[in-house]
Amino acid sequence: MSLQSIKYVPGKLDILDQLLLPVQSKYVAVKGVEDGWKAINKMQVRGAPAIAIVGCLSLAVELLPEDFDSKKSLRQEIEGKLNYLVSARPTAVNMKIAADELIALANELTKDEAVNVLEMKQRFLHATEAMLQKDIADNKAIGKNGAEAILNTCAKDTAIRVLTHCNTGSLATAGYGTALGVVRKLHELKKLEHVYCTETRPYNQGARLTAYELVHDKLPATLVLDSMVAALMRAKNIAAVVVGADRVAANGDTANKIGTYQIAVVAKHHGVPFFVAAPLTSIDLQIPSGDHIIIEERPDREMTHVGEHRIAAPGINCWNPAFDVTPAALISGIITERGVFSPQKLKAEISALVEQ
């Protein structure tokens, strides 16, 4: 079974259908933007970084065979299609940030008189293709920074037991993973005694995807239900929690998979450090706090059914927000490829980095 969620060569994009995992490992072709939008919306691909990469590469696949009579028409096509892709899922910011950067590039190339329409298309395609390699490099740096941060909170030679939520691994990214990259790095350093992963109802990213990755990579791991987190912290001496992010606001408030907030509350009660691991492309300095994050609500069916089998009483009302916002005050550190930031200093320190 494969752990590569995205396969791309110029003109051809295939994604591992995450709706079928772990029972079936099947790749589906994404032939253009419409396929990309549907794959993201239906969650055949999911996880904030993977959503952005698949969205942008779906546009690359569509543009490759097309001819444009002017840079203006190419620019219009790029802008319209990217904005459409942003609308597939609202909470994760990575697709929006990627779209803004690529639209800015298209604007720049349109104005540059030394660049013709063919060159403009080539330069645009290269920019989208570069996202795959950059994401893996960023994740490796996140893994290293996060492992160091967790080791720094523990006495020397302590056996590290960590808890993670949702799926943030190879399947949610171009490879290696963010929070799961931190866990992988601890294991590579021979410092990981055990990782616990939550089931992550209702879509079961933990039980289906994270558990699949952990078994595949032979990490010492145990699955727990979402309702077991407090008991787990009391019984198993958890050294740290590490989770991913869909959007981090300027004040450090973090939207992530539903259930993250209650894990952070429980971690605070037990004095367990709670880390968020995310690339800079998940950080939205444009919004002051988590109150401005749109939380996606998903169909009732994800709660009432497991596969084709109904588990909830027919007729019951459901509320199914896919994400929640963990207040910055509950977060010990935000681990990025450029270092670990305290939520309170995030905006100032990241702005200074970006200006460098």
- Catalytically active residues are 246
**Complex with ligand MRU: residue 119 or 297, whichever CB lies closer:** 297
DSSP 3-state assignment of 15? strand
Note whether 246 binds ligand MRU by CB under 6 A. Answer: yes
Q: Which stretch binds ligand MRU (CB under 6 A): 76-84, 118-126, 151-159, 241-249?
A: 241-249
Structure tokens at 13: 């994009």
Q: How many helices (H) and strands (E) does the chain have?
A: 11, 16
Cα–Cα dist 17/39, whole Å: 8
Taking the complex as a whole, the smallest distance from the CB of residue 135 to ligand MRU amounts, in Å, to 10
Return the residue of 13, 36, 46, 183 that touches ligand MRU, per CB under 6 A.
Answer: 46
Q: How many CB atoms lie within 10 A of CB 12?
A: 13
Structure tokens at 254: 């973090």
Q: Which stretch binds ligand MRU (CB under 6 A): 43-51, 68-76, 125-133, 189-197?
A: 43-51
**Complex with ligand MRU: residue 105 or 327, whichever CB lies closer:** 327
Q: How many residues does the chain have?
A: 356
**Complex with ligand MRU: residue 35 or 246, whichever CB lies closer:** 246
**Complex with ligand MRU: residue 110 or 256, whichever CB lies closer:** 256
Q: Which stretch binds ligand MRU (CB under 6 A): 109-117, 145-153, 154-162, 242-250?
A: 242-250
Note whether 168 binds ligand MRU by CB under 6 A. Answer: yes
Residues numbered 306 to 325 that lie near ligand MRU (CB under 6 A) are: 322
**Complex with ligand MRU: residue 32 or 175, whichever CB lies closer:** 175
Positive or negative CA dihedral for 320, 322, 328, 332? positive
Taking the complex as a whole, the smallest distance from the CB of residue 307 to ligand MRU amounts, in Å, to 17
Task: Give Cβ neighbours of residue 26 (< 8 Å, ≥ 6 apart).
Answer: 16, 17, 20
Q: Which stretch binds ligand MRU (CB under 6 A): 53-61, 244-252, 326-334, 343-351?
A: 244-252
Structure tokens at 57: 């590469």
Q: Output the CA torsion 264→18→83→75 (10° steps).
A: 130
DSSP 3-state assignment of 49? helix
Q: How many CA atoms lie within 13 A of 327 on its CB side?
A: 4
**Complex with ligand MRU: residue 105 or 219, whichever CB lies closer:** 219
Taking the complex as a whole, the smallest distance from the CB of residue 54 to ligand MRU amounts, in Å, to 11
Taking the complex as a whole, the smallest distance from the CB of residue 206 to ligand MRU amounts, in Å, to 10
Return the residue of 48, 95, 102, 328 that touches ligand MRU, per CB under 6 A.
Answer: 48
Residues 254-273: x where in contact with ligand MRU by CB under 6 A, - otherwise, as a string: --xx----------------
**Complex with ligand MRU: residue 244 or 333, whichever CB lies closer:** 244
Closest CA to 323 of 284, 348, 295, 304: 295
Note whether 213 binds ligand MRU by CB under 6 A. Answer: no
CA-to-CA dists, residue 255 to 10, 271, 283, angstroms: 33, 22, 10
Q: How many CB atoms lie within 10 A of CB 11?
A: 13
What ranges in the chain are assigned the alpha helix state H?
Answer: 33-41, 48-63, 71-86, 94-111, 117-153, 179-188, 211-216, 229-236, 260-270, 301-304, 346-355
Note whether 172 binds ligand MRU by CB under 6 A. Answer: yes
- Rg of the chain over all Cα atoms, to the nearest angstrom: 20
Cα–Cα dist 159/193, whole Å: 5
Cα–Cα dist 36/41, whole Å: 9
Cα–Cα dist 54/304, whole Å: 29
Residues 126-165: x where in contact with ligand MRU by CB under 6 A, - otherwise, as a string: ----------------------------------------
Note whether 92 binds ligand MRU by CB under 6 A. Answer: yes
In the complex, which residue's CB is closest to ligand MRU? 244
Task: Summarize as ranges the residues that interact with ligand MRU (CB under 6 A).
Answer: 46-49, 92, 166, 168, 172-173, 178, 205, 244-246, 256-257, 322
